[in-house]
């Protein structure tokens, strides 16, 4: 309290003095008598209304017969009597007025000056002190052009390559950077040139920022971290100034690493902006290019940047001599996911029955951020259940929470809607079971999760890179199985299949226009996608084909969807007893795992049994309220991430 008072005491004193002076000046102005001209004073003397005049320098204080007092000014360096006689005042009239000479005070002039200037000086000083305090409190009010990069010294590394899992190939690529920072003379002796810039490319959550920190930790050098959006401010030239300041700091601390996260914020292709080609962002990019060219061979400063949109970067950034090496941080495979899980479970108590390989097998398409969130959700669930260790049930439930969201058991629906939901999800699962190219059913539930009102979870047996035409066709039938079950059992359909229909239409059109999977249209790509680089997203598609071809495309899409719908109808019609049995069981327990679902097909002729993997171990089910049908969501991209159906 006392320290704060001492620190700000001068500011408080200046405020009090300024306010006091302002009030004094205002009161003096309010009490000052009225001022009149010398001509009016002469007229009042001629009428005999003036009784007394006090002369103080050039200022006159005039008192009338009615005790009224006002002030006036005489001519400079001219006697008052002479001035009045020029205005028609006779010596006789002047003799009737009492004249008094008062010597002027030496302090009056100074007081007038101080009363005018002092408030301005005090206000100006107060403003300067406020700005200084703001600058001292890290607001950088007076240093807009300084870099906002966060600096890590590197003497006590918190992240190393041991903390980065599931990216062995990327670590091997970046090991050269670490060796250069540790032993630059080994490369210089052979005349080798280490890349000045390394661009980390990959989907969000794959560990690009973590990898950059690991490089710094392994090399033990300073690490300057900044986001691309932190360069540009509302003031012109601030971005370029911050770039210059950042590189100057890096050169003074070499060898070191500069890491720019989300570089696409300032590195987008030039000349694509809506406001022309001379905006602030482009000037910042130009300064980055200049600084990268200005690196000396002995500077030992390496620039690392990360982005998930390398396609929109300016080509000048990607040429040799700048970001001439790109390291891809892709989604991990099953082995990589297991390694990542082992990293995130460090220091956390686990039950002996926990099998991380099973969790990794059941999470295709998950990135490092998803897996970290999965482990955290499992720990939260274990704490909520008052357990001392994280068990397999908590981790398996955490997988579902990450994919579909938390359970929403509070939603109350009617028994009729619950029955529709059960048949909808049973239709998805039954069609998937009967078609050989569909992924095996892992779980069926009519318990609401997130935005999904019910789901059928299908997990691939292995990580998939390519998707065949037959699999696309079978997945389409599985997605339409829920709607077909509603129509077959109830003779009507609901809006529960809206997302199913959307996915079906997109996949079928992609099969025709992008993948060349239509015998009628042939192995061709129809339509060209155009992107506005300034916005960084798709804004439209240009047709490079005629209206007749467009009609043929629509016919092919309709044919593919119709065949998939008929395929689902045939399966559900032939196995209607199974459909009713699965739905009845769902109404009773609300959740079926892989083992319970597969039990319906045991001993049935013509249906080969499916071997259960480790991810299909039985799980306990608990009663809950039902939900509305939700979409089946097979992925059309490699390494699909499971999603609720």
The one catalytic residue in 425, 473, 556, 590 is: 425
Whole-angstrom distance, CA of residue 153 vs CA of residue 220 = 8
What is the distance between the terminal CA atoms of the chain, rounded to a whole angstrom?
Answer: 62
Q: Phi and psi of 303, rounded to 5°?
A: -100, 125
- CA dihedral angle for residue 23, residue 26, residue 27, residue 32, rounded to 10 degrees: 160
**3-class secondary structure, 223:** strand
Q: Which sign, positive or negative, has the C-alpha torsion 281, 282, 286, 292?
A: positive
DSSP 419-443: HHHHHHHHHHHHHHHHSTTSPPEEE
Phi and psi based region of residue 405 (left: phi greater than 0; alpha: psi -120 to 50; beta: remaining): left
Least Cα distance to 513 among 636, 632, 635 occurs for 636
Give 182's Cβ-side CA count (13 Å radius): 12
Give 311's Cβ-side CA count (13 Å radius): 10
Give 223's Cβ-side CA count (13 Å radius): 26
DSSP 228: G
Query: Locate tokens 């049935």: which residue?
Result: 604
Instruction: Read off the tokens for 618.
Output: 């039985």
Whole-angstrom distance, CA of residue 100 vs CA of residue 97 = 10
Least Cα distance to 459 among 440, 478, 437, 436 occurs for 440
Task: Give 416's contacts (C-beta < 8 A, 6+ positions apart).
Answer: none
Whole-angstrom distance, CA of residue 569 vs CA of residue 356 = 39
Does 255 sit behind a cis peptide bond, omega within 30 degrees of 0 on the bond before it?
Answer: yes
| Secondary structure E strands in 409-497 | 441-445, 455-458
DSSP 123-136: HHHHHHHHHHHHHH
Instruction: Read off the tokens for 396.
Output: 């398996």
Q: Phi and psi of 416, rounded to 5°?
A: -65, -45
Whole-angstrom distance, CA of residue 473 vs CA of residue 487 = 21
Whole-angstrom distance, CA of residue 378 vs CA of residue 387 = 11
Q: Are strands 441-445 and 455-458 parallel, antiparallel or unpaired?
A: antiparallel
Query: Which residues, in sequence order, are bridge partners of residue 98?
Result: 52
Tell me if 385 sits within 8 A of 625, measured CB to CB: no
**Known catalytic residue at 425:** yes
Whole-angstrom distance, CA of residue 248 vs CA of residue 26 = 54
Give 430's Cβ-side CA count (13 Å radius): 30
| Active site members | 425
């Amino acid at each position: 309290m006392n320290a704060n008072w001492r620190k700000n005491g001068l500011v408080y004193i200046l405020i009090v003095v300024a306010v006091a002076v302002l009030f004094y000046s205002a009161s003096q102005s309010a009490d000052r008598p009225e001022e009149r001209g010398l001509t009016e004073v002469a007229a009042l003397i001629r009428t005999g209304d003036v009784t007394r005049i006090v002369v103080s320098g050039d200022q006159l204080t005039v008192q009338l017969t009615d005790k009224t007092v006002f002030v006036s000014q005489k001519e400079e360096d001219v006697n008052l009597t002479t001035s009045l006689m020029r205005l028609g005042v006779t010596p006789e009239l002047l003799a009737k007025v009492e004249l008094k000479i008062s010597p002027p005070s030496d302090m009056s002039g100074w007081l007038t000056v101080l009363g005018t200037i002092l408030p301005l000086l005090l206000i100006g000083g107060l403003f300067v002190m406020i700005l200084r305090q703001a600058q001292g409190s890290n607001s950088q009010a007076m240093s807009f052009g300084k870099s906002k990069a966060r600096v890590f010294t590197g003497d006590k590394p918190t992240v190393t390559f041991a903390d980065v899992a599931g990216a062995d190939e990327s670590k091997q690529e970046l090991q050269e950077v670490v060796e250069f920072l540790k032993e630059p003379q080994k490369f210089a002796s052979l005349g080798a040139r280490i890349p000045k810039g390394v661009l980390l490319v990959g989907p969000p959550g794959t560990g690009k920022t973590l990898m950059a920190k690991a490089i710094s930790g392994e090399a033990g050098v300073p690490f300057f971290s900044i986001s691309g959006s932190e360069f540009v401010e509302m003031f012109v030239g601030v971005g370029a100034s911050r770039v210059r300041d950042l590189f100057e700091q890096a050169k003074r601390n070499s060898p070191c690493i500069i890491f720019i996260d989300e570089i696409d914020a300032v590195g987008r292709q030039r000349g694509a902006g809506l406001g022309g080609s001379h905006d602030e962002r482009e000037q910042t990019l130009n300064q980055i290019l200049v600084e990268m060219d200005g690196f000396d061979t002995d500077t030992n400063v390496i620039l690392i940047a990360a982005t998930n949109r390398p396609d929109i970067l300016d080509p000048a950034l990607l040429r040799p001599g700048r970001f001439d090496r790109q390291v891809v941080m892709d989604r991990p495979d099953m082995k990589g996911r297991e390694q990542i899980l082992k990293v995130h479970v460090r220091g956390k108590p686990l039950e002996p029955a926990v099998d991380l390989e099973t969790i990794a097998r059941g999470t295709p398409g998950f990135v490092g951020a998803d897996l970290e969130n999965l482990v955290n959700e499992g720990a939260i669930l274990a704490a909520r259940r008052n357990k001392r260790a994280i068990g397999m049930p908590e981790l398996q439930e955490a997988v579902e929470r990450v994919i579909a969201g938390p359970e929403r058991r509070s939603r109350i629906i009617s028994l009729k809607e619950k029955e529709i939901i059960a048949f909808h999800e049973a239709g998805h699962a039954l069609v998937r079971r009967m078609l050989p190219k569909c992924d095996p059913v892992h779980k069926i539930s009519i318990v609401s999760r997130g935005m999904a009102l019910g789901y059928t979870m299908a997990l691939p047996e292995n990580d998939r890179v390519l998707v065949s035409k037959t699999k696309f066709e079978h997945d389409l039938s599985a997605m339409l199985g829920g709607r077909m079950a509603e129509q077959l059992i109830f003779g009507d359909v609901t809006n529960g299949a809206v997302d199913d229909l959307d996915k079906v239409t997109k996949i079928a059109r992609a099969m025709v226009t992008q993948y060349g999977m239509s015998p009628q249209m042939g192995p061709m790509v129809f339509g060209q996608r155009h992107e506005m680089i300034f916005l960084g997203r798709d804004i439209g598609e240009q047709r490079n084909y005629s209206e007749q071809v467009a009609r043929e495309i629509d016919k092919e899409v309709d044919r593919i969807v119709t065949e998939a719908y008929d395929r689902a109808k045939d399966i559900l019609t032939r196995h209607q007893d199974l459909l009713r049995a699965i739905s009845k069981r769902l109404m009773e327990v609300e959740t079926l795992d892989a083992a319970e679902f597969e039990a319906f097909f045991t001993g049935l002729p013509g249906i080969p049994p499916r071997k259960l993997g480790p991810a299909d171990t039985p799980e306990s089910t608990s009663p809950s309220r039902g939900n509305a049908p939700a979409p089946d969501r097979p992925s059309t991209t490699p390494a699909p991430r499971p999603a609720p159906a």
